[in-house]
Amino acid sequence: MTTVTDAGQTAVDADRTAVFDAAVAADERIEPRDWMPDAYRATLVRQIAQHAHSEIIGMQPEANWITRAPSLRRKAILIAKVQDEAGHGLYLYSAAETLGTSREELLDKLHAGRQKYSSIFNYPTLTWADVGAIGWLVDGAAITNQVPICRCSYGPYARAMVRICKEESFHQRQGFELLLTLSRGTEAQHAMAQDAVNRWWWPSLMMFGPPDDESSHSAQSMAWKIKRHSNDELRQRFVDIAVPQAEALGLTLPDPDLKWNEERGQHDFGAIDWTEFWDVLKGNGPCNEQRITQRRTAHEDGAWVRDAAAAHAAKHTERTTARSAQNEQEATA
């Protein structure tokens, strides 16, 4: 074994950093076997884990309506959607595994409250229309956030996002269509749709994260091309897309200050209640406790299943080994 002097090590690091920086600058993809700075790896693990956790916690508010879906067609669409979210969770945990972090480890952190998921899922789904509002607004906001990640500098994450975005845009159209049906339906259905949009609009705007001047991770993530646009840019893009869609739905958005600004060529919108955002993030949202408790319970209740599967696999391996040893013995005898 050769010992590398401190100076030598520093020189190697500097070379590697230069290669990494050049690759990022040239818009090349960083792959799992490539060298990468520790902080880049940690940032990716944090972001991918949070994204994966959001997918699996996000199953809960929608699964809340599967057993009450009012038509078989809607029921099939909703089961498929919740299933897609589990699938997204799987791709994303796999992407995190390419960075050397196991799914088990990340789930433990989620269950211990040491890693976050998107705060939007700490709001309750109170009526059937909430399923539509989540599809239209929450998935709409998620797509706005995620499309740029398809060009993220880390290959496995970028590729997972391409697939996820395709499915998300499908979900968003289904949510829009659900709301349109309600909006054009009976008076009670229309009121249900409007109420859901009123409750989900502001939390959806908060999904883009704090304003740019208060976002702690943004600058470095932009430099590494993990992130491509600022929180405020993406939020503005989402508002500009949502306004005409709300009109098409025949529903209003609950913001008296929302109006077209001719000069900016964008919509102005009212001030976001950041106190609420930070409060929900800290754990005081309407469903934080409920969501994480359900997740922990499912995991703990499933422990005996995972133990049994592992025990069975071990027995199987043992038997196969014993059998081939015996065969070998017989062959040589």
Partner 1 sequence: MTATVSGTTGAALVLGDDALVLSHRLAEWAGHAPVLEEEVALANIALDLLGQARVLLSMAGDEDELAYLREERAFRNLQLVEQPNGDFAHTIVRQLLFSTYQRFLYEALAGDRVFGPLAAKAVKEVAYHQDHAEQWTLRLGDGTDESQARMQRGLDALWRYTGEMFRPVDGLESVKWQELEARWSSSVTSVIERATLRVPEGPRTGAWAAGAGREGLHTEPFGRMLAEMQHLHRSHPGASW
Please identify, using beta-carbon distances, which residue of 297 and 326 lies nearer to partner 1.
297
Please identify, using beta-carbon distances, which residue of 69 and 272 lies nearer to partner 1.
69
Please identify, using beta-carbon distances, which residue of 67 and 216 lies nearer to partner 1.
67
- Structure-token pair, residue 89: 């969770």
Please identify, using beta-carbon distances, which residue of 66 and 281 lies nearer to partner 1.
66
Number of residues that this document lists for the chain: 333
- Locate all alpha helices (DSSP H) within 184-287, ordered by sequence: 187-206, 218-223, 231-249, 274-279
Tell me how far, at minimum, the Cβ of 56 lies from partner 1, in Å.
7
Please identify, using beta-carbon distances, which residue of 128 and 269 lies nearer to partner 1.
128
Q: Let me know: does 235 contact 205? Beta carbons within 8 Å.
A: yes
**Cα–Cα distance for residue pair 154/149, rounded to 1 Å:** 9
Tell me how far, at minimum, the Cβ of 306 lies from partner 1, in Å.
6
Q: At what angle do helices 187-206 and 155-183 cross, to 10 degrees?
A: 150
Tell me how far, at minimum, the Cβ of 310 lies from partner 1, in Å.
8
Tell me how far, at minimum, the Cβ of 84 lies from partner 1, in Å.
9
**Torsional sign, CA 121, 176, 268, 223:** positive
Please identify, using beta-carbon distances, which residue of 68 and 323 lies nearer to partner 1.
68
Q: Classify residue 174 as exposed, middle or buried by CB count within 10 Å of its CB (0-12, 13-18, 19+).
A: buried
- Structure-token pair, residue 83: 């299933």
Tell me how far, at minimum, the Cβ of 107 lies from partner 1, in Å.
9
Tell me how far, at minimum, the Cβ of 294 lies from partner 1, in Å.
7
Residues near partner 1, by CB under 8 A: 56, 59-60, 63, 66-76, 79-80, 82-83, 86-87, 89-90, 93, 103, 128, 181-182, 185-186, 188-189, 294, 297-299, 301-309, 311-313, 315
Closest CA to 117 of 249, 259, 273, 295: 295
Please identify, using beta-carbon distances, which residue of 129 and 161 lies nearer to partner 1.
129
Tell me how far, at minimum, the Cβ of 72 lies from partner 1, in Å.
5
The Cβ of residue 262 has, within 10 Å, a number of other Cβ atoms equal to: 7
CA 194 to chain centre: 26
**Cα–Cα distance for residue pair 317/304, rounded to 1 Å:** 20
